[in-house]
Amino acid sequence: MAKKAAAWHWSQDVHKIFRRIGIKQVAYVPDGGLAKLIDLCNGDTTMRSVVLTTEEEGVAQVAGAWLGGQRAAFLTQSGGVGNCINMLSMMEECRIPMFSMVSMRGEWGETYPWQIPMGQATVGALENAGVIVHHVDEAERVPETVEAAAKLAFDGMRAVAVIVGQRISQSGGRG
């Protein structure tokens, strides 16, 4: 009996993009919305995955990687963005490129009221801190959005975040 093909998930394509563009470090706070991507990065021997105790460490990790000659990605949930605001000023002032992916909470079908305030403030907080934000709500568009945002971050020497909408971070794949 033939094995059933695994269902497509946007994280598979994003991981391939990470490899192609030379991401060598991935800093993350464990998160359900980005769990499949985190698992792929953790299993990749060409990348160093660093689990963080708090989100602002991710900004520092990305800066340190860049200063050491490597590209990094920072993965977090929207609830942790507020912890990064002071650190983001360093990226803007020093023109250190920062590519990040943020899984959203507090929007599409949220069931936990405490996720709503920061979820609703995430985009504004990032933009006010000088981060260029690309929001994506369709799983099929995540890979192209990641590729364009990473190019803008690394070639433009800017902080750029891809916001993965809760609608797709909950379901993951197509549909």
> So what's the pLDDT on residue 169?
65
Which residue in this structure is represented by tokens 């949930």? 77
**Which sequence spans correspond to the domains of the chain?**
31-153+163-171
Structure tokens, 153: 């971050």
> So what's the pLDDT on residue 174?
35
| Distance in angstroms (rounded) separating the CA atoms of residues 102 and 145 | 13
Residue 116 pLDDT level (bands cut at 50, 70, 90): confident
Q: Is 31-153+163-171 a CATH 3.40.50.10490 domain? A: no
What residue type is assigned to position 83 of the chain?
A: N
Mean pLDDT calculated for residue range 98-106: 91
> So what's the pLDDT on residue 170?
60
* Contact indicator for 31, 38 with CB cutoff of 8 Å: yes
- Return the minimum-mean-pLDDT range out of 1-15, 74-88, 97-111: 1-15
pTM, two decimals, is 0.90
CA 76, 81, 86: angle at the middle one, nearest 5?
125
